């Protein structure tokens, strides 16, 4: 018989900043968030799949997305939009769980600005990683792959 | 087109309270207890404090010096572990203008007979409303209020 060790609660805070230049106007890059069909094409890391996704892109809007590897879409992200300035800025908070256990809470700022005929995008994610269940290296890899997919879609 | 800007920042405040952490946590979870300390300075005009303390629940309050812009706090509870941790996101407005969005983590740890509280705030200030020093000072003042409220409670017991 084994006894589970009591869970030690920990928090690791981190900030990730990613930048991309896209060869498309800010309105088209902004649409990658604002339009459901465009978002569904990139809003999951790497080769993972989106199993379910609701869409409510407005200040105060609440979205739920279940995703993960095809045979085990165990992650659920709950997003709440706080600040939306069309074609310029989106600020949202989201919590993520894996099989019902919360692994992180994030505050994400996405900024769009014109750059030599295209768009410069800066994504800043301020994160609290909970109980050692996720980390900045994996999160950065996931976010980076998503921003690359936006570029391919454009 | 208005020029938009952002400034990201993080600050951490650590405080020791002589009260056990169940009592300190209760000062956050119980609406009547929280309303006693989660308020601006004495001379501020203030609104009703609303607290729905559960994951997904909201908290709001507004107030400000007489005749000055109204500070409006609107928060959402993201993660609650009783007696251990609270994570919330919140936005601040000055009158109609949104000036910042934050992620605040409060950790409660047993420290001798009392409690060590560690508060970490990750912030994005919007459109030049960069008030990191003021935010940190205001937060420290709230913890002074909390210390006084806990002391009154201990004396009344």
**Helix (H) / strand (E) containing B24:** helix B21-29
pTM for this entry: 0.95
Residue B39 has pLDDT above 80, yes or no: yes
Chain B closest CA to A14's CA: distance in Å?
9
Query: Tens of pLDDT along A106-126?
Result: 999 999 999 998 999 999 999
Chain A nearest-CA residue for B103 = A107
Contact partners, residue B121, CB within 8 Å, separation at least 6? B10, B11, B12, B102, B103, B104, B105, B135, B139
Report the residue of chain A nearest B84, measured CA to CA.
Answer: A9
What is the C-alpha separation between B127 and B97, in angstroms, rounded? 10
A-chain CB neighbours of B123 within 8 Å are 126
Mean pLDDT of chain A: 95
For B110, other C-beta atoms within 10 Å of its C-beta total 12
Distance between alpha carbon A6 and the CA centroid of its chain, in Å?
A: 31
pLDDT band at B73 (very low <50, low <70, confident <90, very high): very high
H or E element at residue B138: helix B132-156
The Cα A105–Cα B31 span in angstroms is 24
Percent share of chain A, pLDDT over 70: 96
ipTM above 0.85, yes or no: yes
Mean of per-residue pLDDT scores for chain B? 94
Is residue B3 predicted with pLDDT exceeding 90? no
pLDDT score recorded for residue A89: 98
């Amino acid at each position: 018989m084994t006894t589970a060790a009591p869970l030690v609660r920990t928090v690791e805070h981190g900030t990730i900043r990613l930048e991309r230049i896209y060869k498309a106007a800010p309105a088209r890059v902004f649409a990658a968030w604002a339009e459901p069909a465009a978002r569904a094409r990139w809003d999951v890391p790497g080769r993972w799949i989106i199993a379910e996704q609701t869409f409510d892109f407005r200040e105060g809007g609440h979205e739920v997305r279940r995703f993960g590897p095809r045979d085990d879409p165990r992650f659920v992200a709950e997003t709440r939009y706080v600040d939306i300035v069309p074609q310029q800025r989106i600020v949202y908070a989201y919590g993520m769980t894996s099989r019902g256990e919360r692994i992180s809470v994030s505050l994400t700022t996405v900024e769009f600005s014109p750059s030599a005929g295209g768009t410069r995008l800066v994504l800043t994610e301020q994160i609290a990683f909970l109980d050692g269940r996720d980390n900045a290296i994996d999160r950065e890899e996931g976010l980076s792959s998503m921003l690359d997919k936006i570029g391919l879609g454009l | 087109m208005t020029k938009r800007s952002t400034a990201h920042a993080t600050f951490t405040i650590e405080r020791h309270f002589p009260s056990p952490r169940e009592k300190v946590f209760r000062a956050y979870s119980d609406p009547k207890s929280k309303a006693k300390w989660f308020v601006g300075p004495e001379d501020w005009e203030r609104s009703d404090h609303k607290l729905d303390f559960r994951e997904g629940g909201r908290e709001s309050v507004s107030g400000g010096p007489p005749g000055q812009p109204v500070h409006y706090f609107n928060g959402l509870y993201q993660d609650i572990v009783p007696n251990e941790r609270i994570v919330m996101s919140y936005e601040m407005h000055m009158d109609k203008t949104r000036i910042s969005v934050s992620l605040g983590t409060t950790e409660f740890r047993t420290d001798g007979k009392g409690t060590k509280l560690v508060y970490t705030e990750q912030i994005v200030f919007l459109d030049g409303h960069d008030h990191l020093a003021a935010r940190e000072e205001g937060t420290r003042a709230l913890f002074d209020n909390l210390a006084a409220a806990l002391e009154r409670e201990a004396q009344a017991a």
